Amino acid sequence: MRILVIEDEKKVAELVCEGLAAEGWTTEACHDGEEGLQLASRQAYDALVLDIMLPGRDGLSVLAALRTAHNTVPVILLTARGDVEQRVKGLDLGADDYLSKPFSMTELAARLKAVWRRRSGEGLSLITHADLVVNLHSHSVQRGAHKIDLTGREFMLLEFMLRHVGRVVTRMELCEHVWGYHFDPGTNVVDVAVQRLRKKLDEDHAVKLIQTVRGTGYMLKAAS
């Protein structure tokens, strides 16, 4: 995805861009509402991350102008915590979702994925790998003829690994993208979660999908 971040706090915009770039997305940032409107009007973006409190033109005004011009780019609003009135107004104006500050990059990325899936159609909601079928909308997982019940965290872990099939994902990557905090070498939270996921996915199956790469992390085996 190509994402425009319109946020007047430059440090926040920088961190958001870095976090989204880590997901493999292309990002661009601006710090003024009027500039953001001009960019969003002239160029094609897959989504906007739009702060409400902006100089030049506030976020709700930017959103209203885009929708009046029939620009349907998905928009996630960044709002002040507890500001229910602005959230409601933003949704009424055509925002697709909102996040209250402060927020985690993991949640922002998840919401962008959800918005993109809704806008792109049901076809992108299914990920298949070998005999594994994962529905990103309903969070249902099935391997062969067997349905698998996963916790929310296990599902996020599996989705991240599915998006990096055939490549080693490190414990640090998993900790940052699934748990939303920096990896602590002294914790075994990632290993415990992967072992639980492995038991649910691979037990009673001849082909084991989750591979351990000693000293580095884990890999979802590429389908033969």
pTM for this structure?
0.55
Sign of the alpha-carbon torsion through 74, 21, 193, 206: positive
Which CATH number is 166's domain given? 1.10.10.10
What confidence tens digit (pLDDT) does each residue in 153-188 have?
898 899 888 878 888 888 888 887 777 666 566 778
Counted domains in the chain: 2
93 and 150 co-located in one domain = no
42 and 78 co-located in one domain = yes
Phi, psi at residue 222, to the nearest 5°? -65, 140
What confidence tens digit (pLDDT) does each residue in 44-72 have?
788 999 999 999 899 999 999 999 988 88
Name the residue range of residue 28's domain. Answer: 2-120
Out of 63, 86, 120, pick the residue that ends a domain. 120
User: Which residues in 42-90 belong to E strands, given as ranges?
Assistant: 47-51, 75-80
Torsion of CA 176, 181, 186, 187, to 10 degrees: -80
